[in-house]
Amino acid sequence: MIVVGVSPQKDWGGTHYLETFKEYEYPGPVYPVNPKYEGEEIHGYKVFGSISSLPDDPPIDLGIVAVPAKVTPQIVEELGQKGVLFAHIFSSGYSELGEEGKQLEQQLLEEAKKNHIRILGPNCMGIYNPKHRIAFTHRLPLVSGPVAFISQSGGNVYRHAYAAFVKGYHFSKMVSLGNQIDLDLIDFLNYFRTDPETKVISMYVENIRRSGNEFVQLLKETTKEKPVIIWKGGKLEAGHSAVMSHTGSLAGDITLWKSMARQTGVILVNNFKELIEMIQTCLLYKIPNNLGTAIITGGGGPAVELTDECEAFGLKVPRITEKSQKMIKDFIPEVNSNLSNPFEFGANGGHENMIKVMKILDKEPHISSIIMTNRPEWYSSEKLNMEEVVKSLANTISQDSNKNLISIYSSFGVRKDTVDVINEFYSKTRENGIIVYDSAQAAAKSIHRLWSYGNYLKNRGNKIN
């Protein structure tokens, strides 16, 4: 690993990469380069005065370049001469600033081609590969997982890394693309398509640099194998101009992206929150057979709200069969309850009745999703064992019923004394295959999207689940 552009005085830019290699105990050689500080040590690594003076053995694959934009073509040339295969250009100040920067990109690309080196960026954070101890910032877990993330925004790789940590999923690799003058979205999509460590591919995309047909073809090949979730940034007028300034590119029309998604089975989402929810959904849930949803909650008003929200975002809340209704009436009185879906138990609720109802719902053919509302604070105040409660809920769904059990928990503020019990609830539900969404809307959007993906696969004759 070569890092060009480091300084003992600042802890960002190239120096920040040094710091992360140190923190993650990157096992290969790390060579900081800056003639000004030749011979000094930064974060325990000895600084070299030039690229040409670096040891030739072992050969180095990647150079991280964090010097002023104008100098980057020369550095790329030197890295190429040294036999380095890839240059990640961290520096910014290119096409995102206008014509002059565009010419600089052209120059950079020419040097790269001449010297047989491929470029990631410029204007990007680079890669996160937990298995190989490479990351772009501190305190990320060195745990590999099934999710790939390709992002045209460095800010979004940061956010995603931290959010995933909280939500409990991990990455095979993350890559921040920046201005994509050489290696681009399509190169990485193609890589992740066959990467055995990657089960779900997610992206933040502002634009594509190559022909739409090539992208569509590749997406079709990929979605057969694994779900591809795309969050398209720069959807409308001002969003376009924000993209222009961000990565110097033109954002495509969102209607084109929607039609592309329909053709290819891509799952389109609208924002960061939806991206995270969709990834969790793809990781934990089976593709539902149908849109039928059962709703179980404690009060009439909330039951109406959950039903409204599910229906507004594409799910159906059908009545259950007469037979099942009768079975439920056997043990729950009708007063203050609604026993045909949505299920609203009022004072007749309680954990045991809920379990009984869920076991009956598990046999309903027109239901694929069972949505319950939970209040972890209540389990705690009742001194129930959280692990047992969550397990007993999860166990109501049999292995072969192909149903997903979904939890909704929303709160309007945080209290110090309930943080632990809430976090325990999140982790126990996750362990038991249950996602906790913060609203019925969030659940409905994700489940509907998963169903649409399944529908696409079925129509193409592909196997699902």
Q: What residues numbered 62-101 form the site for a copy of itself, per CB under 8 A?
A: 69, 92-93, 97
The span of 25-33, 133-141, 384-392, 413-421 binding a copy of itself (CB under 8 A) equals 413-421
Cα–Cα distance, 376 to 33 (Å, whole number): 53
30 binds a copy of itself (CB under 8 A): no
Q: Which residues contact 255 (CB under 8 A, 6 or more apart)?
A: none
Using CB under 8 A as the binding rule, the residues of this chain from 99 to 128 that contact a copy of itself are none
The region that residue 64 occupies, defined by phi over 0 for left and psi between -120 and 50 for alpha, beta otherwise, is beta
166 interacts with a copy of itself by CB under 8 A: yes
Interface with a copy of itself, residue 423, by CB under 8 A: yes
173 alpha carbon, distance to own chain's centre: 11
Q: Is 245 in the site for a copy of itself (CB under 8 A)?
A: yes
Residue 365: C-alpha distances to residues 146, 238, 359 (Å) = 31, 47, 13
Write down how long the chain is.
465
User: Does residue 228 sit in helix, strand or coil?
Assistant: strand
Q: Smallest distance from the beta carbon of 88 to a copy of itself, in angstroms? A: 17
Q: Return the number of the residue (191 or 272) whose C-beta is nearest a copy of itself.
A: 272
* Nearer to a copy of itself among residue 60 and residue 64 (C-beta): 64
> Whole-angstrom Cα distance, residue 154 to residue 179?
11
Q: Which residue has the tokens 């990929």?
A: 222
Pairing of strands 293-297, 228-232: unpaired
Q: How far is the CB of 207 from a copy of itself (least distance, A)?
A: 11
Q: Measured from the CB atom, is 102 or 133 closer to a copy of itself?
A: 102
Contact between 154 and a copy of itself (CB under 8 A)?
yes
Q: CB–CB of 427/168 below 8 Å?
A: yes
Does position 342 interact with a copy of itself (CB under 8 A)? The reply is yes
* Gyration radius from the chain CA atoms: 26
Q: How far is the CB of 143 from a copy of itself (least distance, A)?
A: 17
Nearer to a copy of itself, 99 or 238 (CB): 238
Residues 222-241 interacting with a copy of itself (rule: CB under 8 A)? 233-239, 241
CA atoms of 353 and 236, how far apart (whole Å): 49
Buried residues in 383-403 as b, exposed as e (16+ CB within 10 A): eeebeebbebbbebbeeebeb
Q: How far is the CB of 190 from a copy of itself (least distance, A)?
A: 23
Residue 17 sits in the site that holds a copy of itself (CB under 8 A): no
Q: Which of residues 351-370 bind a copy of itself (CB under 8 A)?
A: none
Whose CA is closest to 95, among 312, 310, 293, 244? 244
Q: Does 34 bind a copy of itself (CB under 8 A)?
A: no
Q: Which residues pair with 297 in a beta bridge?
A: 344
Burial of 177 by CB count in 10 Å (0-12 exposed, 13-18 middle, 19+ buried)? buried
Q: How far is the CB of 278 from a copy of itself (least distance, A)?
A: 14
Q: Please report how close the Cβ of residue 336 comes to a copy of itself at its closest, in angstroms.
A: 5
The residue count for binding a copy of itself (CB under 8 A) is: 77
Q: Is 422 in the site for a copy of itself (CB under 8 A)?
A: yes
Candidates 206, 376, 448, 457; binder of a copy of itself (CB under 8 A) is 206
Cβ 298 to a copy of itself shortest distance, Å = 7
Half-sphere exposure of 188 (CA within 13 A, CB side): 30
The verdict on 204 binding a copy of itself (CB under 8 A) reads yes
User: Using the rule CB under 8 A, is 441 a contact of a copy of itself?
Assistant: yes
Residue 410 binds to a copy of itself (criterion: CB under 8 A): yes
Residue number, 218 or 267, with CB nearest to a copy of itself: 267
Binding segment (CB under 8 A) for a copy of itself, from list 42-50, 149-157, 218-226, 258-266: 149-157
One-letter amino acid at 135 equals A
Shorter beta-carbon distance to a copy of itself: residue 143 or 236: 236
Contacts of 393 (CB under 8 A, 6+ apart): 354, 355, 358, 372, 405, 432, 434
Does the protein bind a copy of itself through residue 49 (CB under 8 A)? no
Q: Which is nearer to a copy of itself, 426 or 456 (CB)?
A: 426
Helix 440-459 / helix 300-312 crossing angle, nearest 10 deg:
40
Q: Note every long-range contact of 67-74, with CB atoms under 8 Å and residues 24 or more positions apart, other chains counting.
A: 67/4, 67/5, 67/14, 67/91, 68/93, 69/93, 69/94, 69/101, 69/104, 69/122, 70/104, 72/104, 72/108, 72/122, 73/104, 73/107, 73/108, 73/110, 73/111, 74/111
Q: To the nearest whole angstrom, how small is the minimum distance from the Cβ of residue 247 to a copy of itself? A: 7
* Footprint of a copy of itself on 268-327 (CB under 8 A): 270-273, 276, 298-305, 307-312, 316-319
Nearer to a copy of itself, 57 or 237 (CB): 237
